[in-house]
């Protein structure tokens, strides 16, 4: 049955700024199953980081609207109070590996203590037990035990990123959200981290949401993929469909613009810029740059669910 882990319905997150209301997440819906990795791809300004915030309820002060439902394991987390969410959801059922997280390690604490902290805070474990579990998680991410007693500056970039991943895994959450986990890393380190994530997925049957702008890297850890554009999901499908045969014109162009090493291909680029999230255009938001637009595109298309299991937000697939 689709969506037995996570169901997101019509999620909306709007922010108030001095220039107007930014409609960062504007009606996003998708499902996820257990032991599945969902990649969410989008360029800058599409709202993907806000999507992370919306799912994990890490909201800033200037929220204008926050609606919809996020149903994890059958429970609608949107209905939880702030305190209940903090004590029962965040970092217990869902955790986050944030962007440039490797720089977010507290420089004055030992790495081991930091990684073990969620256990101490949320599960009330004693320090010793927590550190034992931290050691176990370190093994899984491929960092040796010695580093538990070291400080952040003694670790290289790749190792710090692994430590952060360990911290996200240590409470055995149902879902781990990764926001650009490898964009600050070198190629080899990136490949290593992806290997780590792959092995964790196999070993723990862990579910991931992997959010990034780097199309090629997502293919490493992706069972299903979604493309975000201007605060909405443009296309959602399984990995085969998504990478090899996208339907939405934006997704097509996006795949066409990724340089490939092994295959010779003519690269395309998309002229123009994504629309502002403050006053998004009426009708289909990609219409202005779309090479296949027609009259119907003046109206905003719904997310059509196709027979082969994918969803496309485009009138061409009515």
Burial category of 226 from C-beta neighbours within 10 Å (exposed 0-12, middle 13-18, buried 19 and up): buried
Binding site for other proteins (CB under 8 A): 37, 43-44, 61, 156, 158, 186-192, 194-195, 198-199, 213-223, 239-240, 242-244, 253-255, 257-264, 267-271, 273
CB atoms within 10 A of CB 271: 9
Minimum CB distance to other proteins, residue 127 (Å)? 30
Nearer to other proteins, 62 or 73 (CB): 62
Radius of gyration of the chain (CA): 20
Residue 69's DSSP bridge partners are 9
Nearer to other proteins, 48 or 313 (CB): 48
Minimum CB distance to other proteins, residue 222 (Å)? 6
Minimum CB distance to other proteins, residue 210 (Å)? 11
Question: What whole-number distance in Å separates Cα of residue 316 and Cα of residue 306?
Answer: 12
Nearer to other proteins, 168 or 194 (CB): 194
Question: What whole-number distance in Å separates Cα of residue 309 and Cα of residue 139?
Answer: 37
Collapse the DSSP code of 297 into the 3-class scheme (helix H, G, I; strand E, B; otherwise coil) and give the result.
helix
Q: Which helix (H) or strand (E) holds 39?
A: strand 37-41
B/e letters for 121-137, b = 16+ CB within 10 Å, e = fewer, are ebeebeeeebbebbbeb
Minimum CB distance to other proteins, residue 118 (Å)? 27
Nearer to other proteins, 91 or 210 (CB): 210
Block residue for tokens 């440039």:
100
Nearer to other proteins, 298 or 308 (CB): 308
Minimum CB distance to other proteins, residue 74 (Å)? 27
Minimum CB distance to other proteins, residue 2 (Å)? 19
Minimum CB distance to other proteins, residue 24 (Å)? 17
Nearer to other proteins, 265 or 318 (CB): 265
Quickly list DSSP for 211-226. Answer: EES-HHHHGGG-SEEE
| φ, ψ dihedrals at 293, nearest 5° | -75, 155
């Amino acid at each position: 049955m689709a969506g037995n882990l996570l169901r997101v319905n019509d999620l909306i997150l709007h922010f108030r700024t001095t220039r107007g209301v930014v409609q960062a997440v504007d009606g996003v819906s998708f499902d996820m199953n257990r032991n599945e990795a969902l990649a969410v791809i989008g360029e800058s300004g599409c709202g993907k980081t806000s999507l992370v915030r919306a799912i994990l309820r890490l909201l800033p002060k200037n929220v204008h609207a926050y609606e919809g439902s996020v149903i994890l394991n059958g429970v609608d987390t949107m209905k939880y109070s702030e305190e209940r969410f903090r004590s029962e959801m965040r970092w217990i059922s869902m955790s986050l590996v944030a962007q440039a997280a490797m720089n977010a390690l507290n420089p004055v604490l030992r790495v081991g203590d930091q990684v073990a902290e969620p256990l101490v805070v949320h599960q009330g474990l004693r320090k010793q037990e927590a550190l034992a579990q931290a050691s176990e998680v370190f093994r899984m991410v491929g960092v040796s035990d010695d580093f538990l007693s070291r400080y952040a500056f003694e670790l290289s970039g790749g190792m710090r990123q692994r430590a952060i991943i360990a911290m996200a895994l240590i409470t055995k959450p149902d879902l781990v959200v990764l926001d650009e986990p490898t964009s600050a890393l070198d190629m080899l380190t990136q490949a290593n981290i992806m290997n780590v994530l792959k092995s964790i997925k196999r070993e723990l049957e862990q579910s991931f949401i992997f959010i990034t702008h780097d199309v090629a890297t997502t293919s490493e850890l992706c069972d299903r993929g979604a493309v975000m554009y201007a605060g909405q999901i443009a296309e959602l499908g399984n990995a085969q469909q998504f990478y090899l045969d996208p339907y939405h014109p934006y997704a097509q162009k996006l795949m066409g613009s990724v340089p490939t090493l092994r295959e010779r291909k003519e690269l395309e680029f998309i002229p123009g810029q994504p629309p502002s999230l403050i006053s998004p255009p009426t009708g289909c938001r990609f219409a202005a740059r779309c090479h296949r637009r027609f009259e119907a595109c003046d109206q905003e298309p719904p997310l059509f669910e196709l027979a082969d299991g994918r969803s496309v937000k485009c009138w061409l697939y009515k």
